[in-house]
Chain A
Amino acid sequence: MGPGSFPWLLHHDLRLGWRDFRSGFGRLGARPLLGLVALLLAVMHAAVWGLADEVGALADAPATRGEAEALVLPAAGFVLLLMLAGTLNGATKLLYARGDLDLLLSSPASARRVLGARALAVALGALASAAVFVLPVADDAALLGHPRLLALYPALAGGALLAAGAGLATTLALFGLLGPRRTRLAAQVLATFVGAGFFLALQARRLMPGLLPAEAPADGTWLRAAVGLPVRAALGDGGALAAWLALSAAAFAAAALALGPGFARSAVAAAGAGNARRPAPRRSRSSARLFVGGPLPALRLKEWRLIARDPWVVSQVLLQILYMTPLIALMWTGDGDPALGIAPMIVVVTFQVSSSLTWLGLSGEDAPDLLASAPVPASALRRGKLQAVGALALGLVALPLAYLLSVSASAAAVAAVLALLGLAAAVALQSWHGAPRRRSSFAARHRESKLMGLVEMVMSVLFGLGTALAVLPTAWALAPLALAGGLVAWMRPRRGSAA
């Protein structure tokens, strides 16, 4: 593995990727982390045991293979979209990892080799993130006597290559269309919506039945063949697997080789984007609204301005609300009680949006020295920031809460109380575990603290479940809410430990 060679560059990228992954677990050593991964894999293998047996048995018999394909098709769509989202993010990083690419592209190593290695690292990253959830099915099926499903290994690798090729091409197309400044944000937003695309498509079908075709494409059509190719490949059809791998490898190679020079030029342009000037605003605004009396109004105004001007933050908040739509539809089928869908949505959105905005307010401060040197007690600064984010979070759910009030006063009362508890829990968790960061780290906050990401996810589920049960009403509602309370108490910093 000579210095500057393709394997050497790939090793460099994979090492950086592994360290990036490790940094999300704080000071956890490599061995405990590997143990944790092994534990997760063991849990996944146990969780999909029954599913692997069922799919494997259906795939083994030619008569039932169609049933297996129907079963696997949504999962394949989900996994491919997830990998595409990952590679869009990876390609954006590739383009904007400024110092790193400046160094690499100024070295004697060929740009094509540098970018090819990095593109493969992007594909391997996407593969690794999907493998944890997909490959246990293959292993279990093989153990249960259905070795056909071992085809999931190469099929998934093909999917990762295709996703990487598509991610690179899309990012470069965005670069050409929008320019370097807007591409980063557009690609990140697109990646988020692609990642959520599976849920959104499901929901669109449910809420607007005419929007998507109700049935799968008919047999014998090219569309059916194209849609079914990765599924048949994953289920061990030799011909389909060969075609899928050839298609994926060709797409990846075309993207990496053909787009390589374009990417190198774009990377250099992206590095210079910071020096480009925007056109001056056409009209100057009155300065009357810029100056307010007192630190708390100034703080609130500053927080609101920064949030409103950050399209990435706004898109993430909207997405958190969009994610809730499947929950609403699951619980509110049209002829059921609307309160059962809306009340949990209000509480979960309040908790999640509060968590995001509180992170921005308390941790994502770009000028900490300025605030620390201001003649305002730290507690007042904190209060001003919490007022700003709390008002936003509650403002977002005010309209659905008003609607809920018109439907059911008791459900509205339950939702209001639990939404306030959700807000309090989000503030407490962020206060205890938020660490000072630049606001631009917002997207990476859960990668930097995977524990907080996990806790927020579990809390959302517990709040949603507790609210739905409370609206029913049943005393069982106390169980998830008590668990949520217990989790917050468990997260409280112990005496003597750093908050």
Chain B
Amino acid sequence: MPPTEPALSLRALRKGFGAGLPAVDGLDLDVPAGAFYALLGPNGAGKTTTLRMVAGLMRPDGGAIRVHGIDAVADPVAAKRITAWLPDDPLLYDKLTPLEYLGFVAGLWSVPPARARSLADALVERLDLGPHRHRRCEDFSRGMKQKVALAGALIHEPRLLILDEPLTGLDAGAARTVKAILADCVAGGATVILTTHILEVAEKLATRIGIIRRGRLVAEGTAAELGGGGSLEDAFLRLTETG
């Protein structure tokens, strides 16, 4: 695998639901390895559908998905092995404790038990879940559940981390912790792709930003390139206005 291979490469990706307009309509996108990539777009632009296809939760109607050079449509298991997916409303097992949940996820990704144990301990401490490690998740607030799910996404040390609205429901302190962890992941060589409606998050964290509208990429670049002297918000509204 050449080192310059993008972490994610989408070519002519298509997905439709029913007879209406396709949710994703011939999307071409490259995310370089090691990037912190923010995928922006208005509601219904096709962000979540795109990422669900990348995570292997949905089969595309057409087009190609390559994750670090692996054809994710032809060999989804190989692509999943190096990918983590965190949905906007992660569903946990209420009757499991955070450590049991992490043990289960580590088992699914075949992480050796000793390695999984040390990673779980580190993640639990880093995400301030230490005092709750033996409590069942049924008592947790949304923010705490989000942190447990994030720990689950990180326990198998993915090379590509995909997060759909990861900061939803988090208080300011937890949001800061999560942002710091994601920045650490990128510093450690992983690639992070996230969707967000909070443009400041994209502006501050992302090394590259893609804006999609009606299932197609309409602009891409750094926050400064997209803003063109103005704000990212102005650029976003201009690029995604209907009509």
Tell me the A residues contacting B by CB distance below 8 Å.
Answer: 275-278, 280-281, 284-285, 287-288, 290-295, 297-299, 301-302, 305-306, 309-310, 366-377
Interface residue B99 (Cβ < 8 Å from any Cβ of A): yes
Query: Is B103's CB under 8 angstroms from A298's CB?
Result: yes
Q: Nearest chain-A residue to B83 (Cβ)?
A: A373
Distance of A280 Cα from B120 Cα, bound (Å): 20
B108 touches A287 (CB 8 A): no
B80 on the A face (CB < 8 A):
yes
Complex contact A366–B106 (CB within 8 A): no
Residues of A within 8 A of B120 (CB): 287, 290-291
Q: Is the CB of B107 within 8 A of A370?
A: no
> CA separation between A371 and B103, bound complex, in Å?
14
Contact of B104 among A293, A298, A369 (CB under 8 A): A298
19 A-B pairs with C-beta separation under 8 A: A275-B141, A281-B134, A284-B134, A287-B121, A290-B99, A291-B111, A292-B113, A293-B113, A295-B109, A298-B104, A301-B104, A305-B100, A306-B95, A306-B96, A366-B93, A370-B90, A372-B55, A375-B81, A375-B110
> Measured between C-beta atoms, what is the minimum distance from A378 to chain B in Å?
10
By Cβ-Cβ distance, the 9 closest A-B pairs, closest first, are A298-B107, A290-B103, A375-B80, A375-B81, A291-B113, A374-B108, A309-B95, A373-B85, A291-B116
A371 cross-chain contacts in B, Cβ below 8 A: 108
A293–B107 CB distance below 8 A: yes
Q: Is the CB of B56 within 8 A of A299?
A: no
Contact of A366 among B57, B94, B100, B112 (CB under 8 A): B94
Considering only CB atoms, which chain A residue lies closest to B110 in the complex? A294
> Are A375 and B78 closer than 8 Å at their CB atoms?
yes
B133 at the interface (CB under 8 A from A): yes
Which B residue's beta carbon lies closest to that of A308? B95
Residues of B within 8 A of A373 (CB): 55-57, 80, 83-85
Q: How far does the alpha carbon of A301 sit from the alpha carbon of B141 in the complex, in Å?
A: 25
Chain A residues near B109 (CB-CB < 8 A): 295, 374-375
Known: A375-B78, A375-B81. A291 touches B135 (CB 8 A): no
A309, B90: Cα distance in complex, Å: 21
| Sample of 10 further A-B pairs with CB below 8 A, known A288-B117, A368-B91 | A287-B117, A290-B99, A290-B102, A291-B120, A305-B95, A366-B91, A369-B57, A369-B91, A373-B85, A376-B77
- Chain A residue with Cβ nearest B121: A287
Contact B139 A278 (CB under 8 A): yes
The chain A residue sitting closest to B56, CB to CB, is A373
In the bound complex, residues from chain A placing their C-beta under 8 Å from that of B166 are none
* B155 CB, nearest partner CB in chain A, Å: 10
Interface string of B214-229 (1 = CB under 8 A from A): 0000000000000000
What residue in chain B is nearest A284 (Cβ atoms)? B134
Shortest Cβ distance from residue A11 to the other chain B in the assembled complex, whole angstroms: 34
Q: Hey, which chain A residues are within 8 Å of B55, CB to CB?
A: 369, 372-373
Knowing A290-B99, A291-B103, A375-B81 are in contact, say whether A280-B116 is a contact too (CB < 8 A). Answer: no
B105 CB–A CB distance under 8 Å: yes
Q: Is B170's beta carbon under 8 Å from chain A?
A: no
Which chain A positions have C-beta within 8 A of B81?
375
Query: Which chain B positions have C-beta within 8 A of A287?
Result: 99, 103, 117, 120-121
Residue numbers in B under 8 Å from A372 (CB-CB): 55-57
Q: Which residue of A lies closest to B54 (CB)?
A: A373
Q: Say how far A228's CB is from chain B's closest CB, in angstroms.
A: 47
Do B57 and A310 touch (CB < 8 A)? no
Taking CB atoms, residues of chain B closer than 8 Å to A298 are 103-104, 106-108
Q: Which residue of A lies closest to B93 (CB)?
A: A366
Q: Interface digits, B106-142 against A, CB 8 Å rule (1 contact, 0 not)?
A: 1111111110110011000000000101111001010
A377 touches B77 (CB 8 A): yes
Whether a CB of chain A sits under 8 angstroms from the CB of B152 is yes
Most B Cβ at <10 Å: residue of A291, A370, A372, A375: A291
A374 CA to B131 CA in the complex, in Å?
28
B93, B110, B121, B136: the one within 8 Å of A293 (CB): B110
Whether A285 pairs with B134 at a CB distance below 8 angstroms is yes
Q: Given the complex of chains A and B, what is the CA–CA distance between A377 and B90 in angstroms?
A: 21
- Closest chain A residue to B103, Cβ basis: A290
The minimal Cβ–Cβ distance linking A71 to chain B, given in whole angstroms, is: 47
- Quick one: closest B residue to A280, CB to CB? B135
Query: Which residue of A292, A367, A377 is within 8 Å of B93 (Cβ)?
Result: A367
In the bound complex, residues from chain B placing their C-beta under 8 Å from that of A306 are 93, 95-96
Given A277-B139, A285-B134, A301-B104, A295:B91 Cβ within 8 A: no
Which residues of chain B come closer than 8 Å to A369, judged between CB atoms? 55, 57, 85, 87, 90-91
A139 to B20, CA, bound (A): 54
> Do A375 and B95 touch across chains, with their CB atoms under 8 A apart?
no
**How many whole Å from B110's CB to the nearest CB in chain A?**
6
When distances are taken between beta carbons in the complex, the residues of chain A under 8 Å from B136 are: 278, 309
- Could you say which residues of chain B place their CB within 8 Å of the CB of A288? 117
Residues of B within 8 A of A310 (CB): 95
B105 touches A370 (CB 8 A): yes
In the complex, what's the smallest C-beta–C-beta distance from A425 to chain B, in angstroms? 28
Docked CA distance A298–B155 (Å)? 14
- Please give me the residue from chain A that is nearest to B76 by CB atom: A375
- Bound state CA distance, A292 and B109, in angstroms? 11
The smallest beta-carbon distance between A366 and chain B, in angstroms, is 5
Report the minimum CB–CB distance from A372 to chain B (whole Å). Answer: 5
Q: For B103, what are the chain A residues with a Cβ–Cβ distance below 8 Å?
A: 287, 290-292, 298, 301
Chain B residue contacts of A278, Cβ below 8 A: 135-136, 139
**Interface check B235, CB cutoff 8 A:** no
